[in-house]
Structure 1
């Protein structure tokens, strides 16, 4: 297994409580493209429409996974900015998000995440920017 495969499996196995509660599933994971789905049911606002915050949760998850994959094994990514434009509502079924890189640099990366409904219509466009940091090497051995 490569480092990317290890990281991909770790992410799929450890989605976190919020993603589990919201039904987020990773479908395709690579540094160039991360795809995930989320059900509309259970993630709606009082009018029965997909909650905008739920769209942002899916977008941030996919963008963060993409940033982590691009950061490399000795680095990690933390989100520092996210925005979303909600184009149309979804009332049922699954929404699918696709995260693709806009910029992958040594200290910062940005990704566009497009969410679509089951008819392929764009529901939301989001952009996330992540800082890429060195992992703490841990305590230094005393001389």
Structure 2
């Protein structure tokens, strides 16, 4: 279901390289793309860590803005988007080797401005397998500019993988 095309029941996630090159370079895998939710997973590797082998807060912020922007892009019927405000609270560490799950959901979807909340969680064996909040972000996005014809291929790629 996650990442499936609207006419398919396949469970294959979309290739992250086609959706977001930067997140792909970090190893991020999208599991769901729709106007109401964007989600995915990231294994915390050395590339994602600060010197103390903890998930770098900048990576958390990058994931948050990227997922919220993708969601806003789909929710705005593929208008060009730009993040105008990002606020992230880091509440628990994710260690090298752990896997985190990120989920972005809209709080407000207007014609000009959208606000999305993004939570990054990790599995914590000490809490019976429940997900533990690593960071919480709020992202405000401007979404009222027409996408140029030059970006039509990107729009088509997203439409292929989004659950619309």
Give TM-score, length-normalised by structure 2.
0.72
Following superposition, which runs of at least 4 residues in structure 1 exceed 4 angstroms of deviation? Answer: 9-12
Structure 1 residue 10: Cα displacement = 9.0
The answer as to whether partners of 2:84 and 2:141 remain within 8 angstroms in 1 is yes
> Aligned equivalents of 2:137 and 2:70: distance in 1?
14
Superposition deviation, residue 136 in structure 1? 5.9
Deviations 1:103-127 (A, max 9, x none): 0001000100000012310000001
Q: Which runs of 5+ in 1 are unaligned?
A: 3-8, 139-143
Q: How many angstroms does 1:134 deviate by?
A: 2.7
Aligned counterpart in structure 1 of residue 134 of structure 2, from 98, 105, 123 = 123
Once residues 12 and 127 of structure 1 are traced to their aligned partners in structure 2, the CA distance between those partners, rounded to angstroms, is: 25
Task: Report if aligned partners of 1:76, 1:135 keep a CA contact under 8 Å in 2.
Answer: yes
Pairs aligned (count): 131
| Alignment match, 1:39 | 43
Judge conservation of contact 1:38–1:58 (CA < 8 Å) in 2.
no
Superposed, 1:1-143 pairs within 5 Å as 13-16=18-21, 18-42=22-46, 43-73=48-78, 75-91=79-95, 92-119=97-124, 120-135=131-146
Cα 1:46–1:10 shift into 2, 3 Å:
closer
Aligned-partner Cα distance in 2 for 1:47–1:132: 37
Q: Superposition RMSD on alpha carbons, in Å?
A: 2.2
Are the aligned partners of 1:12 and 1:26 in contact in 2 as well (CA < 8 Å)? no
Unaligned runs of 5+ in 2: 7-13, 125-130, 150-164
Structure 1 residue 58: Cα displacement: 1.0
Superimposed CA distance per residue, residues 11-59 of structure 1 (whole angstroms, 9 cap, x where no aligned partner): 762322x212211111111111111111211211001111100111111
- Alpha-carbon deviation of 1:62? 0.8
| 1:41-82 CA-partner distances (Å, limit 9, x unpaired) | 121100111110011111111111111011114x22111111
Hey, what's the Cα distance between the residues in 2 that align with 1:137 and 1:95?
34
Shift in Å at residue 135 of structure 1?
A: 1.1
Q: Partner of 1:121: helix, strand, or coil? A: strand
